[in-house]
Amino acid sequence: MAQGIRVGVFGSNGKVGRAIVAGIEAADDLVYTAGVDKGDAPEFFSDTDTQVVVDFTHPDVVMNNLKFLIENGIHAVVGTTGFTDERLAQVGEWLSAAPGVGVLIAPNFAIGAVLSMRFAQAAARFYDSVEVIELHHPNKADAPSGTAYRTASLIAEARAAAGVGKSPDATTAELEGARGAEVDGVRVHSIRLAGLVAHQEVLLGTQGETLTIRHDSMDRTSFVPGVLLGVRGIGDRPGLTVGLDDLLDL
Ligand SMILES: NC(=O)C1=CN([C@@H]2O[C@H](COP(=O)(O)OP(=O)(O)OC[C@H]3O[C@@H](n4cnc5c(N)ncnc54)[C@H](OP(=O)(O)O)[C@@H]3O)[C@@H](O)[C@H]2O)C=CC1
Ligand SMILES: O=C(O)C1=N[C@H](C(=O)O)C[C@H](O)C1
């Protein structure tokens, strides 16, 4: 049997899944065991002694996938979006019955995206106004993006802790949607445009100045190093880990 961590992929034929499979196959310390796509049996993973499974599928199916993995003692590294607090609590409950199993769920595995969320969190208390714009390819199912949700929550937390109120806004007449959605009181705007991959801007403003924190994933290979970091680390992190920050020592 080949040596290394035995890794499978849920959603292996998807846009990100294909990049992850190539990344696993190129790594000397990892062995690609199985890919499971829509209609395939997840038992492929247990039948091939898979130790870690990466999931890039769809918000509608990821919870079932995770239940299967946890019940079968397989660690998971999850990029699929759609994780509400309720979903995270459910995963935590499943994990409490499976000591030793680790699950990492991160809204964005691109290193620059993780850093940009941190930068936005640090800057949030210094500015009167903050809004988030996320820009993605038109095949994306969810809006706002998981990254934008997390960014807005981190910004809101930082502003609340510093006693900073809501961003000023005199709008009284509005075409529905014109001011975007609100996540924890922070405005988030979603653009879907052919030609884009995954991009985000956090705009901050105060008297006489603005600051823009922008991240661009130009290619889906941008997610691979973060995912492989998770794959290598998750076996030593039983329980639920949310976000890549701890694995990057941030
Ligand atoms: N955290 C991060 O860094 C990132 C997260 N994402 C998220 O990852 C997810 C996938 O994105 P993307 O690759 O662009 O999407 P794609 O639609 O290209 O890929 C999803 C794949 O999962 C397959 N699939 C659907 N249902 C199942 C199932 N029950 N079991 C196994 N496979 C299944 C799909 O098959 P079929 O096409 O036949 O339905 C498809 O091949 C999204 O939620 C996206 O937001 C994306 C990029 C980065
Ligand atoms: O669907 C995508 O493409 C992406 N999804 C994630 C998100 O919703 O934040 C991560 C990245 O933005 C790409």
| Chain segment 32-54, per-residue pLDDT in tens | 999 999 999 999 999 999 999 99
What is the dihedral sign for C-alpha 10, 12, 15, 20?
A: positive
Confidence of residue 2 (pLDDT cuts 50, 70, 90): confident
Tell me the pTM: 0.97
Ordered structural domains, the chain, with CATH: 5-105+221-247 (3.40.50.720), 111-218 (3.30.360.10)
Q: What is the pLDDT of residues 14-31, one digit of tens each?
A: 999 999 999 999 999 999
Give the pLDDT of residue 161.
Answer: 98
153 is in an annotated binding site: no
Collapsing DSSP states into helix, strand and coil, what is residue 128? coil
Mean pLDDT of 145-151: 97
Q: Which ligand has an atom closest to residue 217 CA?
A: 2
Measured in Å, residue 83 CA sits from the centre of ligand 1 at 14
Q: Are strands 239-242 and 102-105 parallel, antiparallel or unpaired?
A: parallel
Give the span between the Cα atoms of 83 and 70, in whole angstroms. 17
Q: In the structure, how many helices (H) and strands (E) does the chain have?
A: 7, 11
Please tell me whether the interface predicted TM-score (ipTM) of this complex is above 0.95: yes
Q: Does the C-beta of 17 come closer than 6 Å to ligand 1?
A: yes
Q: What is the pLDDT of residues 118-140, one digit of tens each?
A: 999 999 999 999 999 999 999 99
Residue nearest to atom 27 of ligand 1 (CA): 38
pLDDT surpasses 90 at 1: no
Give the span between the Cα atoms of 9 and 54, in whole angstroms. 5
50 is in an annotated binding site: no
From the list 22, 25, 4, the residue with the least C-alpha distance to 13 is 22
Give the pLDDT of residue 169.
Answer: 97
Q: Are strands 129-136 and 198-206 parallel, antiparallel or unpaired?
A: antiparallel
Residue 44 CB neighbour total at 10 angstroms: 16
Confidence of residue 61 (pLDDT cuts 50, 70, 90): very high
